[in-house]
Amino acid sequence: MARRHDPGRRQRIIDAAIRVVGAKGIAGLSHRTVAAEADVPLGSTTYHFATLDDLLVAALRQADESFAEAVAARGALSGPHPDVARELAAAMGEWLAGDRTGVELEYELYLAALRRPALRPVAAEWADGLAALLARHTDPVTARALVAVVDGICLQVLLTGGSYDEEYACGTLARLIPPKPPGT
């Protein structure tokens, strides 16, 4: 059934692209596979996303929101004196809990930026956004180091299929955070 006015079509295409990459990897992504998954005409995918990189940028941007949402939902980092290591470790635990398909997809898209320059600015947005949030509670260099450790721990858990150890993560993150001077 043709839909002449379909304001949700672009979003359905992005959601379909995420499902295709989740099921078949980036190698399985094409305008045709996404159109079939979204149940839209092939021309709709190319109308909204002229290239596959355009589609991957939209998918990565949407996927990137999940960890930021997990951190923001906790709310503890918005307080005046949070335990940054504990809160970040807990947010990672929530993000890695249960079905990891979404996290795996996010990292697959994130790492695709190595070969697809169009994705690099969006991949950098994730790291920059998290570093900016963390820099409110520590210096910018430490904030960037914390982001690198988050990436490293998450990738190790995903690649080994192991379980996430929140205490290990908290201890590792805490080692990077300079102690607060007495009386602050």
Amino acid (1-letter code) at residue 148: A
Instruction: Tell me the three state secondary structure of residue 184.
Output: coil
**Tokens describing residue 91:** 């947010």
The confidence score (pLDDT) of residue 40 equals: 95
Cα 9 to Cα 44: distance, rounded to the nearest angstrom: 8
Confidence of residue 161 (pLDDT cuts 50, 70, 90): confident
CATH number at residue 104: 1.10.357.10
Global pTM reads: 0.80
Tens of pLDDT along 110-158? Answer: 888 888 898 889 888 888 888 988 898 899 999 999 999 999 999 999 9
pLDDT band of residue 63 (cuts 50, 70, 90) is: confident
Examine the domain organization and report whether 35 and 120 are in the same domain.
Answer: no
Exposure class string for 125-139: b at 16+ Cβ within 10 A, else e: ebbebbbebbeebbe
**Whole-number Å distance between alpha carbons of 114 and 56:** 13
For residue 59, the model assigns a pLDDT of 86
Q: Which two tokens stand for residue 8?
A: 């949700």
> Does 156 lie in the same domain as 65?
yes
Same domain, 27 and 107: no
For 18-34, the pLDDT digits (tens) are: 899 888 988 899 999 99
Q: What is the mean pLDDT of residues 76-104?
A: 84
Whether residue 34 is found in the same domain as residue 105: no
Range of the domain at 145: 59-176
